[in-house]
Amino acid sequence: MAKAFKNLFNQSVIRTMARHLSKAWPEFDQPGFIAHATHHLDELELKQRSQQITAALAEFLPANYEQAARVMLDSLAPAEGCDVNQNESEEGIVGWSIMPMVDYVGLYGLEHFDLSMQLFRELTKRSSSEFGIRYFLKAKPEQTLAVLETWIDDPNQHVRRLISEGTRPRLPWGMRLMDFIDEPMPVIKLLESLKDDNEEYVRRSVANNLNDIAKDHPDLVAQIAKRWLVGADKNRLRLVKHACRTLIKQGHKPTLVALGYGVPKVELKGFEVLTPQVELGSALAFEVLLESTVDSEQNLIIDYAIHHRKANGKTSAKVFKWKTVCLKPRGTLEAKRTHKIKQITTRTYYKGLHYLELLVNGESLGLIDFDLSLNRQD
């Protein structure tokens, strides 16, 4: 069985942090720090564990922030050849152990801007400073953005990724950056400079940032996609498609047109549910037959939506990706699909009629029903 994610912060990791901090500052109270950071550790989730370690740092690092910053810097593993996925190292602090240190800088370093930005840059080389730097983007956005702009050509890919990941308006687990949700152009300026970065790791972050922006400014992201696709190589094409994944799923017309997916010129010749009675835990099976009605090739995004029944009898649709095809002139496409319907923590299933909808380039081409039972006695 896979270990729980929260166990990335465990007794051993905390003791290793304490040992490296003590090497950097011999007066560091290792037992006190360990006792504070591990208090009721088993009862805490990952973010709570990180926050408790941050509180322990605040308690046991020097009260003087500049001295505390020096202790943290001196406790780090060498950046050269650093494995950010490694959680413990004999050479210094690295990996997930960086997360509470980043939050410490975010919480206590605002009045020491230049020093804190230096810390973020060094910490992110060993993991990521994407959460802590958001305190600065909220409190001092123009000043922080100006520093991020100077990091565009940094030789370290983790520093360049921090520019895009740290400015994501809706970063999971992170505080929302409402200023950038309302006005994303300062962020987009940075993304423009990173879109052709030579590291996929960085380009993927750029795509995720644009996907965040798309949730509030879909037409703007469609315009960016259209512009970025001009003369795009395979890397930028992949970036744009990933950035537009939510808009594609929603069938956002300007985005689909920008990506070369216009109004589908097809006729639905067949659409059938092969399992009209589906038991929870089994699979829905269906097949589709499409026929082109034009004498030219068509790029088609074929998705489907399941309209799940709710407690009040109404339904709520969720779109699922299926396939992307190039349909030949007057050609046909026959496809089958099975979709597992199983219990998940994010959805409660209710027995009764559900609906399956076929979507081609965001257009609904058909809606058919199937009956869901929750057990053999339904």
pLDDT in tens, 255-303: 999 999 999 999 999 999 999 999 999 999 999 999 999 999 999 999 9
State what percent of residues in the chain have pLDDT above 90. Answer: 91
Q: What is the pTM of this model?
A: 0.86
Name the amino acid, one letter, at 52.
Answer: Q
pLDDT digits (tens, 9 = 90+) for 90-104: 899 999 999 999 999
Give yes or no for residue 168 having a pLDDT over 80: yes
> Mean pLDDT, to the nearest integer, of 320-340?
96
pLDDT of residue 87: 74
On average, the pLDDT of the chain sits at 95
Give yes or no for residue 372 having a pLDDT over 70: yes
List the domains of the chain with CATH numbers.
5-258 (1.25.40.290), 266-373 (2.60.40.10)
pLDDT digits (tens, 9 = 90+) for 2-29: 467 788 899 999 999 999 999 999 999 9
pLDDT of residue 1: 40
Give yes or no for residue 135 having a pLDDT over 50: yes
